[in-house]
Amino acid sequence: MPTEEFSNSFHVHAPAEKIFAHLAEPESYIGLSPLIVAVRDVRRDGGEVSYVSVERFTFGPFKYDNHIKVTMTFPEPGRRIFSDVVSPGRVRLTAAVDLVPDGDVTAVTETVNVTFPALLRSFVVGQARSVQRARAAELTRRLSAA
């Protein structure tokens, strides 16, 4: 199956520890990722958090709730979060968020790797890139100087 990888880097005027704490909580993704409307079945097991995230897609008057399984791990606590996402339709996404503190500012880099059936390429890649940019803007809004 085809795979695409892309990154987005931005700065947040907040300490890395505060950003990490926010991103390590599944409930924080409601509204942080514009498609996420709910988080369910949160389970914590040592250094791993797994949950079901509900993405809502709207097509005119129709709505579709896509239930995705997410597992977050913390290979470098306070500095790196790794997410593995399994979605219906044979779509799989991994994301690594790296936090690099620089005084009162933190450089945030999110690298996304998404695998998908060839027929879904345009939709999946377009949605993943759009969500990545929106998540950066919302994270910056939520945490900068807060």
Q: What is the pLDDT along the chain (146 residues), one digit of tens a residue?
A: 899 999 999 999 999 999 999 999 999 999 999 899 999 999 999 889 999 999 998 889 999 999 999 999 999 889 999 999 999 889 999 999 999 998 889 999 999 999 999 999 999 999 999 999 999 999 999 998 55
- The DSSP 8-state label assigned to residue 28 in this structure reads G
Name the phi and psi angles at 45, rounded to 5: -140, 95
Residue 52: per-residue pLDDT: 97
Nearest to 14 by CA among 77, 72, 100, 74: 100
Structural domain including 45 reads: 3-143
CATH of the domain at 33: 3.30.530.20
Residue 89: per-residue pLDDT: 87
Contact (CB, 8 A) for 66 and 55: yes
Identity at 129, one-letter amino acid code: R
pLDDT tens per residue across span 73-83: 999 889 999 99
pLDDT tens per residue across span 123-135: 999 999 999 999 9
**Tokens 């409307």 identify what position?**
37
One DSSP character per residue, 72-127 reads EEEEETTTEEEEEEEETTTEEEEEEEEEEEETTEEEEEEEEEEE--GGGHHHHHHH
Q: For the chain, what is the domain count?
A: 1
Residue 77: per-residue pLDDT: 87
Residue 85: per-residue pLDDT: 96
Residues 66 and 123: their CA atoms lie apart, in Å, by 14
Name the phi and psi angles at 8, rounded to 5: -140, 130
